[in-house]
Amino acid sequence: MYQGGGSNSQGDGAVRVIDMRSDTITKPTPAMRQAMANADVGDDVLGEDPTVNALQEKAAKLLGMEAALFVPSGTMGNFCSIMAHCWERGSEMLLGDCAHIFIYEQGGSAQLGGIHPRTVRNKPDGTFDLEEVESKVRTSDPHLPITRLICVENTQNICGGRVLPLSFLKELRDLADKHKLAVHMDGARLMNAAAALNVPPSEILQYCDSVSMCLSKGLGAPVGSVIGGKKDFIARCVRLRKVLGGGMRQSGVLAAAGLLALTDGAARLHQDHDNARIIAEGIKRLDPSVLQIDLEAVQSNIIVFNLVSHAVTPNQFCEMLNTYDPKDDLDLNIRVSMSPTGFKRGIRCVTHLHITAEDAQLVLKKFRIVIDRVAGMLGESVDK
Ligand SMILES: *Cc1c(COP(=O)(O)O)cnc(C)c1O
């Protein structure tokens, strides 16, 4: 079974903890640790690590790209990709205002890369209005930056793990071609999108020039991302990775886990999606005066719901889920996180390889207990 090596329990086993803050908390499986211990390695800066080379070849094939590159993180994968596309000074990229690249990467493309980011408004489904995109493509004028690149995110994290429709990507590609722009996909969770659409990732990426995909999230590897793209693009990324300090030596020990992430890790993602569905539908059946959820928005392994009751704050609600009361007939705490934007008192749960279908039922039990408690509080405050 491709379940976790380490459990996500904490402390000395008193109260079990199911950690749903993110799929980044996943630990390498026993099979991964075995593969890491046995990995054949060499100096990857010299291109001599056979396991890294195998990972890059396998990833390139899977992604339908000419070449691939192993990098330490998704942030570095995105940054190298953006820099490689925006090679000329004065370049500008267009991207969603809810993009991870725009919000959570320290503005690195501007801070370190000198690239001007210009946003378009993300729709709730993670796409954007293509007319707005087109209206923001610069004309050739020495007053203006040079539009070079459009970035999309799939699945779209802040929008709640939304899967971009293939029809949207096709139209975006046509627009990009019309204006000679490159398209980069922040595919941190690309394999979740592929699993949700039930298509190979290459089918999604036929509309993109490049991608950065995390091995270290739902796919379960401890470290690393891969970039995919054309050979000359990847050659630029190799240089960029080096100047950023991301040239690693015997990194085959990490790539060995990455190889299993691409096979076994990807093959089980539909289980995470099924479990997210179970939890979302269970929440929908609970008291709607406390929590509300849009089931249509739950498309992958991310569940966002809104705390509509004002009896507690979202922070207090999260704290209640993570608190054990001996009066409850359930030895379980759940860790969740505030929805990235905090928009509409949103709270986020993420399913991953350490959460089974039985766990999903237990999670719902805990939700019921906490929601009943919150509903009771509201009653009290109304009585006063
Ligand atoms: C996690 C994530 C990244 C960055 O990956 P790190 O490995 O944490 O640097 C980029 N984009 C999205 C959408 C992510 O969720």
φ/ψ of 317, rounded to 5, equals -60, -45
Q: Which token pair is 368?
A: 């019921």
Q: Identify the residue whose C-alpha is closest to ligand 1 atom 14.
A: 188
**C-alpha 206, offset from chain centre:** 20
CA-wise closest residue to 302 among 225, 211, 193, 215: 193
Question: CA angle 205-169-186, nearest 5°?
Answer: 55
Could you tell me if the CB of 154 is within 6 A of ligand 1? no
- Please check the confidence at residue 276 and state whether its pLDDT lies above 80: yes
CA-wise closest residue to 54 among 268, 245, 257: 257
Give the separation between CA 302 and CA 137, rounded to whole angstroms: 32
> pLDDT tens digit string along 38-63?
999 999 999 999 999 999 999 999 99
Q: Please state the rounded mean pLDDT for residues 118-145.
A: 97
Q: How many CB atoms lie within 10 A of CB 284?
A: 15
**Pairing between β-strand 210-214 and β-strand 182-186 as defined by DSSP bridges:** parallel
> pLDDT tens digit string along 215-253?
999 999 999 999 999 999 999 999 999 999 999 999 999
Where do we find the tokens 């630029």?
A: 236
- Please check the confidence at residue 172 and state whether its pLDDT lies above 70: yes
Q: Which token pair is 140?
A: 């050739």
What is the DSSP secondary-structure string of 275-301? HHHHHHHHHHHS-TTTEE--GGG--SS
Q: Does an H or E element contain 252, and which? A: helix 252-260
State the pLDDT at residue 339: 81
Q: Which token pair is 263?
A: 């096979």
Instruction: Answer yes or no: are the C-beta atoms of 260 and 285 closer than 8 Å.
Output: no
Could you tell me if the CB of 23 is within 6 A of ligand 1? no
In ligand 1, which atom is closest to the CA atom of 76?
9
Question: C-alpha distances in angstroms, 136 versus 94, 147, 149?
Answer: 8, 9, 12
Instruction: Answer yes or no: are the C-beta atoms of 2 and 29 closer than 8 Å.
Output: yes
Could you tell me if the CB of 3 is within 6 A of ligand 1? no
CA of 379 to the centre of ligand 1 (A): 41
CA of 201 to the centre of ligand 1 (A): 18
State the pLDDT at residue 341: 67
CA-wise closest residue to 261 among 1, 11, 2: 2
- Count of alpha carbons within 13 Å of 279, Cβ hemisphere only? 32
Question: Residue 379 — pLDDT band, cuts 50, 70, 90?
Answer: low
pTM: 0.94
> pLDDT tens digit string along 249-268?
999 999 999 999 999 999 99
Question: CA angle 122-125-128, nearest 5°?
Answer: 35
Q: Please state the rounded mean pLDDT for residues 175-186.
A: 98
CA of 70 to the centre of ligand 1 (A): 15
> pLDDT tens digit string along 283-340?
999 999 999 999 999 999 999 999 999 999 999 999 999 999 888 889 999 999 988 7
**Across all residues in the chain, what is the average pLDDT?**
94
All domains of the chain in start order, with CATH: 16-26+268-378 (3.90.1150.10), 39-267 (3.40.640.10)
Could you tell me if the CB of 186 is within 6 A of ligand 1? yes
CA dihedral in degrees (191, 197, 201, 207; nearest 10)?
-130
Question: C-alpha distances in angstroms, 355 versus 280, 341, 365?
Answer: 14, 25, 15
How big is the chain, counted in residues?
A: 384
Where do we find the tokens 């509300």?
A: 292
- Please check the confidence at residue 31 and state whether its pLDDT lies above 60: yes
CA of 14 to the centre of ligand 1 (A): 33
Could you tell me if the CB of 74 is within 6 A of ligand 1? yes
- Please check the confidence at residue 1 and state whether its pLDDT lies above 50: no
